[in-house]
Amino acid sequence: MAMVSVRHRGWKSVLHGSAIALMLAVTVPSIARAQQVNAVNSDATVAKEDQERQALLDQLAALEKRIVELTAISPQSVPTSQIAMAAPQAAAPQQAPAMPPGMVMPQTGPSPGANPANPEGNPTDSTNPQDLLDRIKVLEQRLKDLETTAVLSEPQTRTKRVEVYVDPQGGVHDEPVPGARKTVTYQRERVYRRQTMSEQIEAAIADAEQHKVEVGVNAGIVAQFGFRTQGDTAAPTNRAYELASADLFFTAGIAQNTVFFADLVGLGGTHPENEIPTLTLINGYSARLQNQNQISVREAWLRTEVMSGKLAMVAGRMDLTNYIDHNAAANDETSQFLSDALVNNPMLGLTENGIGFVSVYDPKHGFNGKFGFQQSNSNAASLNESLFTMGEVGYVARLPKTGEGNYRFWYRTDNASGTGYRSGFGTSIDQRLSPRLTLFGRYGEAEATVNWNSFYSGGLKFDNGFGFFPGDVWGLGYAQTHLQTSEKERVIEGFYNLSLTEKLKLSFHLSHFLEMQQGGTKLGYLFPGVRLQANF
Amino acid sequence: MFSTKRVLTISGFLVVVGALSAAFYNVMPSSHVQAADVKVADPTSVVMIVNRDSNDLAFMDIKTHKIVGKTFLGNNVNPHMVMMSPDGRYVVTGGTRANKAYIVDSHTLELVKVIPVGIAPEHLSFSPDSRWYYQGNPEGDSISVIDMQSMTMVKTINGLVEPLNITFTPDGSKAYVGNYGAHWVGVVDVRRHELMKKIYLSDFPGVAKLDPSKYLGETKGINIGMFSPDGKYLYAADGDLGIVAVIDPREDKVIKTIRVGKEPWRIYMGHDGKYAITPNNGDQTISIIDLKENKVAATLEAGPDMTGVNFAAGKAFVISSTSGYVYVYNMSSLRPAGRLKIGTNVQLETATTDTADQKLYLAESTTNSVVIIDARTEAIERVTNVGLYPWGTHIMDSKDNYCH
């Protein structure tokens, strides 16, 4: 029994051993194969990830290359955060921007809501695919921004006025040193300013504008019709007149605070003063007429400013009334009233432009003073025979419940008559009663042969939207001239100036002149008219 | 008295506590700002200067006029406008050529966050509770909304046209956006950060079609909407239309238009609530607007290229950028009160007024300086080398904080 059992146990053991061996023989190779397969699969996955990572890196490199192309090659123009990202595999430490001394560096350590070590929140510099994708996203956005606004990154060079200290040995110091004298020099400076192409172009155009001669044109065409309303039936009536004028202005800055100006005027056509006897000009343009269809130099002068701009001096051929007897509502035949009595004060007695000088003291406090002289007769041999001298004091006031007002008082002398100096005085006032309504007035007296001539005018100007279009201006005015010889003139005019564009204006005028001539005869005329004015 | 074992135990305990304390201290060094790190203890004590070409913010002590620190933002950032949050914690600026917003700690002057925003960020504004920082991106026609709690950009408000300035209502519920490329004021719902209305200012004149060079050329629309000091109305000037529109913020509609001079740049509010001023660059005048009557009280001569108006000591100071002059006006008599010559061949930028209404701090870019004007005596002091091309200044709680 024991042997049987031993034998039986041995047989069982053999069977068990065989089974185990068989199992081992089957399973071990399969495990080994499985391990081999797994190893192969693992290698393939790694290779695939490497390929994807390499693709991302290639994409990054392409983006970075494009960004470098768009920005400058200079490291100054490429933010260092991008430089660090441009070489991710180099694992270079994050560089802080080049920083002038004394400035505050972003410090490490936690701060509320942000990481000062990485204020831009850039994705970390690793080869993790998600980090690479994040970086691609950032770079794509950056690329989009750069492509949207192409900018220049070259350093900008500009020359500046600097104060330096020169010692006795000729050494230059930025700060004062013993024995050094302070002086001014000019020095180039470079800055790193990125500007768009349009900014550069605008700057170039503005610079060119500053250095060129500016040309302006003021052209006007005035058509008027004359209808006699009373008086001598033999006097002309039902007449049409047309006058065309073109002013060419040239302005150039020739030195610090110094400007040259010239006004060439050409005028042609018919004007009512040729055949209708009035004390003042019916058409203010006629005052410019010297020679038909010829260009003449109306003004040519130099203006310079001194005393921090408080004192301006003008010398050359000029119209002194451009500086004196100003008025905000009735001063310009090209945009306001057409009748000369509502443009100037006849008591000024200055009928033509000439060589002269004027100084204007204006500290911008509201008070201003002007003084000047001018040749008043171009046929005179010298200024001794035709010296027109004039002074004015002006004041900007603001009366209660009204807007601003300009009050001017002038005095003048003139020896052009050949009988010594004759004087005159006057005032010119414009007072804004409301934002849309301005009251104006003039008064003047002038010494004549026996007695004094006198003049006054007044009226209203409406603007600031008191019309069809925002830029429209219209006005009503009345003027009366009384000569020592008992001649009188009463002028009334209304106009409406349509502001078609900033450069083109069309105005309609209606004026009536009543002349009371010596002997008591009266002559009345109605003048409807149209003025087309281009100013550019 | 003590056993050796007890002494050793206590010593060991102390060593452990000490080590833990040291470790904790090392771990949390910045949980509170160390005194040595603080460069500006009181945010109201400094003038902030934004330097366009040195790409930094400079901080000048108001009392000593010394630069106490600068924060460099990065190369070619070209910051445009600087502003402090109403709670005084942060100073922010938009980097126009970096298309990013920069957030600086107002005490340590550390740059703590840079956030990509829209294209060419310039002017900006904070909600009154300091929570929202609205960064306008004029060339991107958008506003980037930055949450100052998380310091992240949470939204971009699109649909604007060259948004130049943003004004929050005093309660912070709405923000008004001046669109310089259009003729309407945008109303933004601050809860949702969404453009909810466009306020139409005025009709164009019928002759506009005859003047394509003006109306189809460069648009000069609305720079900013500004509240009257009593908060009752919002005023917005339109350059092309030559008007100031008075807007009722309760209904967000125009109740009146005031015609001013040509090409008003924008409106500036006087501090006493009586008057506002528009510098009119088209005709080189200023229009003084009576805020009670809502009409022009005076139109006075001024200079070319005006970029700002400051109020102090009962006067208005109007900056004529290219002429080198600051024009002065008496705000009681509404008359001219002279002009100050700042320099020859200089370019004046913008200024801020101190909270006492005594001094103006004017950025003068060509000489890299800030000009300090005493409003009462009109004496001038110049602080040089503040940085390259200072473009603007800012003082916390000043009533004249603005940019170009």
Q: Please give the full DSSP string across B8-67, using - where no structure is assigned.
A: HHHHHHHHHHHHHHHHHHHH-TTSS--GGG-S-S-GGGEEEEEETTTTEEEEEETTT--E
Max CA distance (Å), chain A: 182
A92 vs B342, more confident? B342
Q: Judge whether B63 lies within some domain.
A: no
A176 & A325 share domain: no
- Mean of the pLDDT values across residues A145-173? 76
Going by pLDDT thresholds of 50, 70 and 90, the confidence category of residue A77 is: very low
B232 located within any domain: no
pLDDT score at A137: 83
A458 pLDDT tier (thresholds 50, 70, 90): very high
Looking at the predicted structure, is the pLDDT value of residue B51 above 70? yes
* H/E run at residue A342: none
Domain shared by A369 and A497, yes or no? yes
Q: Is the pLDDT of residue A517 over 90?
A: no
User: Mind spelling out the 3-state secondary structure of A60-112?
Assistant: HHHHHHHHHHHCCCCHHHCCHHHHHHHCHHHCCCCCCCCCCCCCECCCCCCEC
Q: Is residue A55 part of a domain?
A: yes
Strands (E), A175-256: 181-191, 195-196, 214-230, 239-255
Interchain proximity A192–B76, CB inside 8 Å: yes
Residue A351: per-residue pLDDT: 78
Pairing of strands B79-84, A404-414: unpaired
Q: Which of A258-267, B9-18, B103-112 is the least confident region?
A: B9-18
Hey, what amino acid is at A38? N
Give the closest of A76, A98, A366 to B336, CB-based.
A366
Cβ pairs bridging A and B (under 8 Å): 184
Percent of chain B with pLDDT over 90: 83
Is pLDDT at A87 greater than 90 in this prediction?
Answer: no
The answer to whether residues A141 and A218 belong to one domain is no
* Residues A504, B210: C-beta atoms closer than 8 Å: yes
What are the pLDDT digits (tens) for B81-109? 999 999 999 999 999 988 999 999 999 99
**Is A250 contained in some domain?**
yes
Return the residue of A nearest to B282 by Cα: A502
The alpha-carbon gap from B9 to the nearest alpha carbon of chain A, in Å, equals 36
The pLDDT of residue A70 is 65
Residue B240 lies in a domain: no
Sign of CA dihedral A168, A169, A173, A177: negative
Name the strands in the sheet holding B111-116, side by side, starting at the edge strand that comes first in the sequence. B79-84, B90-95, B100-105, B111-116
- Would you say residue B223 lies in a domain? no
With a cut of 90, say whether residue B249 has pLDDT above it.
yes
Average pLDDT along chain A: 81
CA-CA distance, A444 to A409, in Å (whole number)? Answer: 10
User: For position A338, what pLDDT does the model report?
Assistant: 95
Considering only alpha carbons, which residue of chain B is nearest residue A71?
B76
Q: What is the mean pLDDT of residues B345-374?
A: 96
Is residue A152 over pLDDT 70?
no
Please give the pLDDT value at position B255. Answer: 96
Please indicate, yes or no, whether residues A181 and A145 belong to a single structural domain of this protein.
no
User: Total domain count for chain A?
Assistant: 3
Q: Which of A98, A116, A435 sits opposite B259 (nearest CB)?
A: A435
- Distance (Å) from the C-alpha of residue A410 to the closest C-alpha of chain B? 21
Tell whether A492 and A470 lie within a shared domain.
Answer: yes
Phi, psi of A148 (to 5 degrees): -75, -40
Test A149 with B389 for CB contact under 8 angstroms: no
Q: Residue A60 belongs to what domain range? A: 46-89+129-150
Q: Are A217 and A138 contained in the same domain?
A: no
First to last CA, chain B: 80
With beta carbons under 8 A apart, name residues in chain B contacting A396. 300, 335-336
CATH number assigned to the domain comprising residue B366: 2.120.10.30
Please check the confidence at residue A20 and state whether its pLDDT lies above 80: no
Q: Which two tokens stand for residue B129?
A: 């509770």
| Domain assignment of residue A17, yes or no | no
User: B282 vs chain A: nearest CA distance in angstroms?
Assistant: 11
Q: Is residue B309 a part of any domain in this protein?
A: yes
**Closest partner CB to A193 (pick from B53, B210, B259):** B53
Looking at the predicted complex, does its ipTM rise above 0.90? Answer: no
- Mean pLDDT is lowest, of A335-349, A447-461, B211-225, for B211-225
Q: Are residues A166 and A220 in the same domain?
A: no
CATH number at residue A439: 2.40.160.10
A248, two tokens: 């060419």
Residue B364 lies in a domain: yes
B92, B109 in Cβ contact below 8 A? no
Domain containing B332: what range?
A: 304-404
Q: Judge: B75–A76 Cβ closer than 8 Å, yes or no.
A: yes
In a domain, A221, yes or no: yes
Percentage of chain A beyond pLDDT 90 is 41
How far apart, in Å, do the first and last CA atoms of chain A sit?
137
Above 80 in pLDDT, residue B31?
A: no
Mean pLDDT of A318-344: 93
Residue A454: which H helix or E strand, with range?
A: strand A452-462
pTM recorded for the entire structure: 0.81
In a domain, A198, yes or no: no
Average pLDDT over residues B164-183: 96
Residues A187 and A288 grouped into a single domain: no
DSSP state of B184: E
Residue A76 lies in a domain: yes
The reply to whether B146 falls in a domain is no
Cβ A119–B113 below 8 Å, yes or no?
yes
Please give, rounded to a whole number of angstroms, the shortest distance from the CA of B243 to a CA of chain A: 10
Instruction: Looking at the structure, tell me whether residues A185 and A291 fall in a common domain.
Output: no
Both A141 and A251 in a single domain? no
Burial class of residue A277, CB neighbours in 10 A (0-12, 13-18, 19+): exposed
Give the chain A residue whose CA is nearest to the CA of B342.
A308
B124 falls within a domain:
no
Range picked from A16-20, A182-186, A496-500, B314-318 for highest mean pLDDT: B314-318
pLDDT confidence band for A53 (50 / 70 / 90): confident
pLDDT at A92 over 70: no
Q: Token digits for B266?
A: 């924008």
Asked if the structure places residue A6 within a domain, the reply is: no
Contact assignment for B37 to A469 by CB distance below 8 Å: no
Compute the distance between CA of residue B169 and CA of residue B226 in angstroms, rounded to an integer.
10
Residues A144 and A164 in one domain: no
Bridge partners (DSSP) of residue B394 are B48
Which pLDDT score, from 0 to 100, does residue B218 have? 85
Q: How many domains does chain B have?
A: 1
Comparing A62-71, A247-256, A260-269, A311-320, the range with the smallest average pLDDT is A62-71
| Separation between Cα atoms, residue A365 and residue B328, nearest integer Å | 9
The residue with greater pLDDT, B323 or A385, is B323
Same domain flag for A181 and A219 = no
User: Is there a domain that residue A13 lies in?
Assistant: no
| pLDDT for residue A213 is more than 50 | yes
